[in-house]
Chains A and B, each alone.
Chain A
């Protein structure tokens, strides 16, 4: 089954404790991105990657890092999480940035709470 797999689904952590949210896709998509979704604000892009070893900042990159060492994986790293990073996070992939005919395929989401 074609899918984007995110882990973990839920995470509660403390301020300053480094964490990684994993994202993996099995569709051989070149384009991957991370979003955060907050009430009333819609999805905002954190980072995106056009291909292996090619990453770039989105609208809200502060406090986040990413890497794209393999085509299928695009982990999101919070080196020192803070409470304002409490949010719902989605990883997405597609053949290209427009989404093409099928749009973006999103992972199931990671609900992160930083206390």
Chain B
């Protein structure tokens, strides 16, 4: 079993749709969680950190469920510019052990 698992997609959604991705992690000692965005042929960039209480940044909402060991990313009112691959990242506390998921590909269509 992979340490960080994501549905690879692709998710094809129309503009304005709401779409959600899940990511599961296997190590219960994981303490820090992030979502990165990677455009085609480009480098990953931090989208948002995921806090225990959940957090929101504009149209993006991230949530953490420690009991079930998954994190989620919700995108509301999808824009064409949201088309990208979304990488789930999990880190053990006080440890250089950052694990990247293989990514979920999203395509938003007109």
**Count of B interface residues, CB-CB < 8 Å:** 22
Do most interface residues of chain A lie in helix, strand or loop, or is the interface mixed?
Answer: mixed
A45 touches B36 (CB 8 A): no
Q: Given A42-B87, A98-B91, A99-B34, verify A106-B102 contact (CB < 8 Å).
A: no
Classify the interface of chain B: helix, strand, loop or mixed.
Answer: strand
A103 near B87: Cβ-Cβ < 8 Å: no
In the complex, A61 has a CB within 8 A of chain B? no
Interface pair B42/A109, CB less than 8 Å apart: yes
Judge if A73 is at the interface, Cβ distance under 8 Å: no
A contact residues, total (Cβ < 8 Å): 22
Interface residues in A51-71 by Cβ distance below 8 A to B read 56
Q: How far is the CB of B28 from chain A (nearest CB, A)?
A: 18
Which residues in A have their C-beta under 8 angstroms from that of B96?
48, 50, 56, 97
A41 with B102: CB separation less than 8 A: yes
Q: Which residues of B contact A (CB under 8 A)?
A: 4, 8, 32, 34, 36, 41-46, 49, 87, 91, 95-96, 98-103
